[in-house]
Structure 1
Amino acid sequence: MNTSKETNNMIISALLLTLVVIIQILGKNIPQINQFFVGPMVNAMLLLTVYFSGVKWAILVGLLTPVLAFFTNVLAPPMAPFIPFIAAGNLLYVMVFSLFRNRKNLDIIGVLSAGITKFLFLYISATELIRLFALGIPEPVREKLAITMGLPQLITALAGGGIAITLFNMLKRRIPSLR
C-alpha cells in the first residue's frame, strides 16, 4: 500500500466531508437553500469521493454524513432513529455507482442505477421498515419522512450524480494526474 496515496485519499475525503457539513449547515440556516440544493450537493460530494479517493473512503463519508448532520443539529432529533437508514442509503449509492465507475463510459448508467437504488431503499425504509422495526418515530414525522424520502430523493441523487460527473470531467481535462 502506498502510504502517501492513502494519506492523499484521506485528506481529500476529509475535505469533501467538510464541504458536506458546511453545505448542510447552510441549508439549515438559510431558508432559501433547501433540499433541492443541499441534497444534490451532498450526493455530488459522495460521488466525487469515489472519483478522487475510492469507494472505501466514499463509504466512510456516506456513513458519517447523517451522523454529523445530527450532531450539528441539521437533522432534527425525532429523525435520529432514521440515521442508519440514511447511512445505508448513502452506502448503496456509492457502492452501486462504483460498480459502473471502473467501466469505460458507464458513469451515467452508474448514476442512474445508484440514484434509483438509493431512492427505492430510502422510500421503502421511510414507508415500511420504520413501522416494521417500531422505531417510535411520531406519526407526523413519519408522514413528512415518507414525502422527503420519496421522489425528492430520486431527483437529488440524479442531480448530484450529474454534478459529480460534470465536475470530475472538467477537472480531469485540467489536471493530468486524474486522466
Structure 2
Amino acid sequence: MLEKGTKVIARTAILLALTAAIQIAGRYFTSFLGPMNMFIVGTLVNACLLISVEYAGIKGASVIAFVTPFTAVLTGAPVPIPFLPFIGIGNFILVLVFYLLKRRIYGIGVGAILKFSFLFASVAIFLKMTSLPAKLVGALYFAFSWPQIVTALLGGVVYLAVTRVLKVKSIDE
C-alpha cells in the first residue's frame, strides 16, 4: 500500500500529464474546432482541476492549478506570459472554493463564479496597464469573460460524471 504522500505525488503527476495532454490535443484540433476549441479544452481542463481535488487533494490540485497556464503557453496558447500567474490564481480559486465547500455542487457554482470574477477583473486591469495589439486585447477580453464561467460549470458537470463512474477512492479516504 502506498503512503498518502506518495499517492498525492503519483496522482498529481498523472492528472497534470492528462491536463497537459488535453491542452496539447486542443492545439492540434484548433483548425478543426475553431472557436469551439476554447470551450472544449477549457471544460476538460476545469474538469481535471476539480478531479484533482478529489483524487490528489488540495496540495496536488494547487500544483496543477498553477502549472497548467504555463503548459498552455508551451502548447501555443496566445496569452501574455505576465498574465499567467493570474490564470493560476483563478484556477486556484476554483479548486480552493470547491475543496472548502466539500466538493459539492455549491463548490462548483461558487468556485466558477469567483474564478470568472477574478479573471475578468484581472484581465481588465492587466490590459489597461499594457499596450498590446487591439486584436489580442479583444481576444483576451473575450477569453477571460463569460467563457470562463461556462467552462468552469461544464467542467463541474464532467467532474460529476467522471467521479460517479470511477471507483477510485478519494485521497482523503
Same fold (TM over 0.5): yes
**For each residue in 1:121-150, what CA deviation from the matched residue of structure 2 results, as whole angstroms up to 9, or x when unmatched?**
11111123442xx24433321221011111
Give the count of matched residue pairs.
167
**Distance across 2 between alignment mates of 1:93 and 1:138:** 30
Looking at structure 1, the residues matched to 10 and 131 of structure 2 have their Cα atoms a distance apart, in angstroms, of 38
Structure 1 residue ranges without an equivalent (≥5) = none
1:78-93 mapped onto 2 (5 Å cutoff): 79-93=80-94
Identity of aligned residues (%): 33
Q: Tell me which amino acid in the other structure corresponds to 1:74.
A: G
Tell me, yes or no, if the aligned pair for 2:23 and 2:75 is still in contact at 8 Å: no
Q: CA RMSD in A?
A: 1.9
* C-alpha distance in structure 2 between counterparts of 1:47 and 1:19, whole Å: 13
Matches within 5 A, 1:138-157: 138-157=133-152
Question: Given the alignment of the two structures, is residue 49 of structure 1 paired with residue 84 of structure 2, yes or no?
Answer: no
Alignment equivalent of 1:74, drawn from 63, 73, 76: 76
User: What CA deviation, in whole Å up to 9, does each residue of 1:85-122 have, x standing for no partner?
Assistant: 111100111011111126xxxx1010000000111111
Q: How many Å separate the matches in 2 of 1:101 and 1:157?
A: 17
Listed as ranges, the matches of 1:95-114 within 5 Å are 95-101=96-102, 107-114=104-111
- 1:170 is displaced (CA, Å) by 2.2
1:35 is displaced (CA, Å) by: 0.9
Using CA pairs under 8 Å that are at least 6 residues apart, name the structure with larger relative contact order, 1 or 2.
Answer: 2
Partner of residue 19, structure 1: 18
- In 2, the alpha carbon distance for the partners of 1:93 and 1:152 equals 15
Unaligned 5+ residue runs, structure 2?
none
Q: How does 1:162-173 map to 2 (within 5 A)?
A: 162-171=157-166
In structure 1, how many angstroms separate the alpha carbons of the residues matched to 2:55 and 2:26? 25
TM-score by length of 1: 0.85
Separation in 2, partners of 1:12, 1:74: 26
Counterpart contact for 2:83–2:126, Cα < 8 Å: no
Q: Residues 136, 10 of structure 1: CA spacing in aligned structure 2 closer, same or farther, 3 A cutoff?
A: farther
Q: Separation in 2 of the partners of 1:160 and 1:73? A: 20
Structure 1 residue 3: deviation in Å?
A: 7.2
Q: Taking structure 2 as the reference length, what is the TM-score of the superposition?
A: 0.88
